[in-house]
Structure 1
Amino acid sequence: MKIGITCYPTYGGSGALATELGIALAARGHEVHFITYAQPFRLPSFLPRVYFHEVDVGRYPLFEYPPYDLALAVRMHEVVRDHQLDVLHCHYAIPHATSAWIARSMLREEGSDVKVVTTLHGTDITIVGQERSFYSITKFSIEKSHAVTAVSDFLRDETYRAFGCVGCQVDVIHNFIDPHLYDRSRHVFPIPVDVTKGRKVVMHISNFRPVKRVRDIVKTFARINREVPSVLIMIGDGPERVEAEAEARELGVAEHVHFLGKIDAIAPLLAGADLFLLTSDSESFGLSALEALASGVPVIGAHAGGLPEVVVHGVTGYLYPVGDVEAMARAGVGLLRDGKRWQAMSNAAAADARTRFSEDAIVAQYEALYERTLAAASVSSGTAMDVLPSISPSSSTT
Structure 2
Amino acid sequence: MVSRRILMLANRFPPETFGGAEQQCLRLSQALVRLGHRPHILTSYGNPETPPHEMLGDVPISRLYTPDPPQNGGPAIGSTIRYARAVPRWLDSQPPFDIIHCHQAKINAWIGVREAVRRGLTSVVKPGAAGPNFDFFSLEKKKFFYGKYAARYVAKHADAVVAISHEMRQDLIDYGLSEKQRHFIPNGVPIPDWDAAGKAAIRARIRAEVGLSDSDQMVLFVGRMVTQKNVDTLLKAFARVPGQAHLVLLGDGALLDENRALAAELGIGERAHFRGRVDNVTEYLAASDLFVLPAIAEGMSNALLEAMAAGAAPLASRVSGNTDLVRDGENGWLYGPPRDPEALAAGLATALALPPEALARVAATAQQEMIDTFSIDAIAARYDALYDQICPPSSLSPKEAAA
TM-score normalised by the chain length of structure 2: 0.81
Q: Which moved more, 1:16-25 or 1:212-221?
A: 212-221
Distance 1:270 1:204, change over 3 A: same
Q: How much does 1:24 deviate?
A: 0.8
- 1:103 maps to what in 2? 115
Q: Does 1:125 align with 2:132?
A: no
Q: Give the whole-Å Cα distance in 2 for the aligned partners of 1:124 and 1:85.
A: 28
CA offsets, 1:78-123, max 9 Å, x none? 4544132111111111111112134346xx4xxx443221001104
Distance 1:80 1:49, change over 3 A: farther
- 1:86 maps to what in 2? 98
Q: How much does 1:311 deviate?
A: 0.7
Amino acid at match of 1:129: L
Instruction: Return 5+ residue gaps in structure 2 as ranges.
Output: 69-73, 397-403
- 2:157 maps to what in 1? 144
CA offsets, 1:128-177, max 9 Å, x none? 2353743442232232212110111111212333x344566321100111
SS of the counterpart of 1:128? helix
1:308 to 295, 307, 323: 323
SS of the counterpart of 2:249? strand
1:252 to 244, 258, 267: 267
1:219 to 229, 233, 236: 236
Q: How much does 1:264 deviate?
A: 4.2
Matches within 5 A, 1:1-398: 1-7=4-10, 8-9=12-13, 10-38=17-45, 46-47=55-56, 49-57=58-66, 64-65=75-76, 67-81=78-92, 82-104=94-116, 108=118, 112-122=119-129, 123=133, 125=135, 128-129=138-139, 131=141, 133=143, 134-161=147-174, 163-165=175-177, 169-180=181-192, 186=198, 188-189=202-203, 191=206, 193=208, 195-198=210-213, 199-224=216-241, 226-227=242-243, 229-322=244-337, 323-337=339-353, 338-375=355-392, 378=395
Q: How much does 1:25 deviate?
A: 0.9
Alpha-carbon RMSD across the aligned residues, in angstroms, is 3.0
Q: Give the whole-Å Cα distance in 2 for the aligned partners of 1:67 and 1:377.
A: 40
TM-score normalised by the chain length of structure 1: 0.82
SS of the counterpart of 1:254? coil
Paired residues of 2:55 and 2:61 also in contact (CA < 8 A): no
Paired residues of 2:45 and 2:65 also in contact (CA < 8 A): no
Distance 1:371 1:164, change over 3 A: closer
Q: Which moved more, 1:311-320 or 1:4-13?
A: 4-13
Q: How much does 1:214 deviate?
A: 1.3
Q: How much does 1:46 deviate?
A: 4.1
Question: Percent sequence identity over matched residues?
Answer: 25
Distance 1:145 1:165, change over 3 A: closer
SS of the counterpart of 1:255? coil
Q: Give the whole-Å Cα distance in 1 for the aligned partners of 2:195 and 2:346.
A: 28
Q: How much does 1:197 deviate?
A: 2.4
Paired residues of 1:88 and 1:116 also in contact (CA < 8 A): yes
Q: Give the whole-Å Cα distance in 2 for the aligned partners of 1:185 and 1:157.
A: 44
Distance 1:321 1:242, change over 3 A: same
CA offsets, 1:18-76, max 9 Å, x none? 1100111112222121111259x9xxx745541010111269xxx95263334434443
Paired residues of 1:201 and 1:273 also in contact (CA < 8 A): yes
